[in-house]
Structure 1
């Protein structure tokens, strides 16, 4: 499944051969027949280094556009349109989301062979973090404050959006296992419908590993989440998924990108994910305390509170969610790597380093200090 002519960001802050071939001349030629926006001379001017799909910027006489291509085992048109409907709702509410463009048949997700395509208008603003790996903290606390405030603005708009759970587990950040009274029992019921994940876990002592690494953090959390409403969220709120207006030293969010992980979870789950994504340099934990940015975590919370209230009890629950917030998504990465790309090595990283390792890190002195910082913010 690998292709040798295109490299993307790997799981260890490195460049690796892409699982998916780059957007090609043949892709563009086919898309030109579907999208009037691409009529005339149209060429690829940049390939995205993000790993889970192929994406590129296209230049046509009508302007510049962003195309993303998914393998059909990752996203069908129906599943991709779930994201698009949420984006449309946010746009109607005034949130500065990127515009998803319809084809000549008014479809926003189109299938061709093994692939599912989507086309976006070029969003305004500067892509400050375009070449920065995931889990790299923001440049400064001002950007974190702005990111927190925009997340609250998105949540205010999402309060009035109601749609069912996503039609897939693959590369979606859900909170079902976190909300479950018994996450292991629930996961067992899911495995027959998730053969890639079931095959990876078969023969491993996964129940004992989750009992050791996850369940101590989970104790009491599900009961407290019972009164927290399900709400759609972005669920991948990192500064690299935001475009920026920069005026001297001042920053403002210009556009919100990439709703691939969006689902109905909770707004606290979304905010906890934002802290996990932005306040911990996961790929540089060897730096010790320097890899943990309590100031970034606090700036996210303060910015969020500028547009939406957070009670003391909610902030305490937010801290308790943080060691668990990756649970469902880490398992979806295992499912993706083992069941779709066929890389058991990458699935091992998702399972041991991400799923178990992140939970264990919060038991270290640096992890405990970050949780104490959040609780003090209550």
Structure 2
């Protein structure tokens, strides 16, 4: 299977031609040659529709493998090693995560040409959401509750992983702007480290809308975030990054590509922001129809069911919701402008994602949602 006619999720609801071509049989064989204990390839049985990399499910006589290719400017071998170290820590702590395979030299990633490759054994659980866009709500509130419980368990397992924050690279949900005493100065530093992002913003009046967002939503937030224990977190917690057990629980957590050192409140806010809103329908549905309060409530209830939950963590997560997406949105802009060269996607990431999501929270519907969620969480 060579991936002819392969399509991937775009920035909206439609499937699009991939930025990164599907992995071929010959390409997969060349990568697997670096893994001497892996059985020969039978077939490439599936190609992922996720847009920021290429991935394929490989059938072998010794079970299925997942091969993932990143462009070397998105992930280097060292960049993948950082997240693989986190995965290994979580596995040691008892969390079900992918088994990352290693080469004969002990490396967890391989660089070939312009690609950086990682190879996993297929993990337990059903991939119920694999053909759904990332911003797809849960199929049920039971799934939301189970995902909240699994998120809390992952945070418990993450304790003691003391690696520093990742270096600046595209498509990582870093945590430098919102905890800063002066978020605009932190923005300046973030932008200066990313020339493509700086070039894009230099043609726009970006300071005024960002300063307004911080003035409205970040008041008193930085001291709260400083009080939160620093923790490596997933930062992309949505249904299609989870494999599901027959009883509706989470069987495996995967795709740690956005993982970095943030805090539990940041990760919980990200999980709510990723799953409780019909963002792909923003502008086509009334504002009040975008949010699903029950989904957010179920996710928080699931999180709380894993152990004692600090009211301060919940309040901090709720306060973070209007702004928690900002650093990843900036990272997407850097990716689309600097690596892909897609002007339309870059503009959509700026206007539709970064500003559009924040503006929804500033609307009457958004403020009402936050008030209702705060009231629900306090019961």
TM-score of Structure 1 vs Structure 2, range by shorter chain: over 0.9
RMSD, aligned α-carbons: 1.5
Q: Deviations over 1:209-238 (max 9, x none)?
A: 211234311121112212112110111010
**Structure 1, residues 243-282: CA drift from partner, whole Å, max 9, x if none?**
11124xxx11111110000000000000000000111110
Residue 259 of structure 2 is matched in structure 1 by 262
CA, structure 1 residues 184+348, in 2 after alignment: closer, same or farther (shift >3 Å)?
same
- Contact 1:268–1:318 (8 Å) recurs in 2: yes
Q: Pick which of 236-245 and 304-313 moved more.
A: 304-313
Structure 1: how far apart are the matches of 2:204 and 2:169?
Answer: 21
Task: Determine whether 1:362 maps to 2:361.
Answer: yes
Mean Cα displacement is larger for which, 65-74 or 182-191? 182-191
CA contact (8 A) 2:164 2:261 kept: yes
CA distance in 2, matches of 1:294, 1:29: 47
Contact 2:31 2:110 in 1 (8 A): no
Moved more, 85-94 or 198-207: 198-207
State the SS of the aligned residue for 1:357: helix
Partners of 2:340 and 2:171 in 1: CA distance: 13
Separation of aligned partners in 1, 2:369 and 2:97: 31
1:291 to partner: Cα distance: 3.0
2:313 counterpart residue number = 314
SS at match of 2:203: coil
TM-score of the superposition, structure 1-length normalised? 0.95
Structure 1 residues 264, 158: closer, same or farther in 2, change over 3 A?
A: same
Map 1:1-378 → 2, pairs under 5 A = 5-247=5-247, 251-285=248-282, 286-288=284-286, 289-376=288-375, 377-378=377-378
Distance 2:218 2:103 in 1: 45
- Distance across 2 between alignment mates of 1:367 and 1:349: 21
User: 363-372 vs 86-95, which deviates more?
Assistant: 363-372
Following superposition, the deviation at residue 189 of structure 1 comes to 2.3
Partners of 2:250 and 2:81 lie apart in 1 by: 25
8 Å contact kept, 2:264–2:313: no
1:318 Cα shift? 1.4
> Secondary structure at 1:11's aligned position in 2?
coil
Distance 1:107 1:323 in 2: 39
1:52 Cα deviation from its structure 2 partner = 0.2
- Is contact 2:29–2:41 with CA below 8 Å preserved after alignment? no
The 2-side partners of 1:88 and 1:283 are apart by 34
Deviation at 1:63, TM superposition (A): 1.2
Tell me how far apart the structure 1 counterparts of residues 6 and 46 of structure 2 sit (CA, whole Å): 12
C-alpha spacing 1:143/1:275, structure 2 compared with 1 (3 Å): same
- 2:249 is paired with a residue of what secondary structure? strand
* Unpaired runs of at least 5, structure 2: none
Q: Give the deviation of 1:342 after TM superposition.
A: 0.4
8 A Cα contact 2:183 2:214, kept in partner: no
Q: Aligned pair count?
A: 373
Q: CA deviation at 1:5?
A: 4.5
Kindly indicate whether the alpha-carbon contact (under 8 Å) linking 2:65 and 2:121 is maintained by their aligned counterparts in 1: yes
- 2:168–2:193 contact (8 Å) kept in structure 1: no
Unpaired stretches in structure 1, ≥5 consecutive residues: none
Separation in structure 1 between the aligned mates of residue 96 and residue 325 of structure 2, nearest angstrom: 26
Cα offset, 1:17, TM superposition: 1.2
TM-score for the superposition, normalised by structure 2: 0.95
Note the C-alpha offset of 1:181. 1.6
- Given the superposition, is the C-alpha separation of residues 105 and 287 from structure 1 closer, same or farther in structure 2, using an over 3 Å criterion? same
Q: SS of the counterpart of 1:176?
A: coil
Deviation readout 1:26-46 (Å, 9 max, x if unpaired): 211211311235432432110
1:25 to partner: Cα distance:
2.1
Query: Separation in 2 of the partners of 1:271 and 1:37?
Result: 38
The alignment partner of 2:128 has SS state of coil
Distance across 2 between alignment mates of 1:366 and 1:37: 55
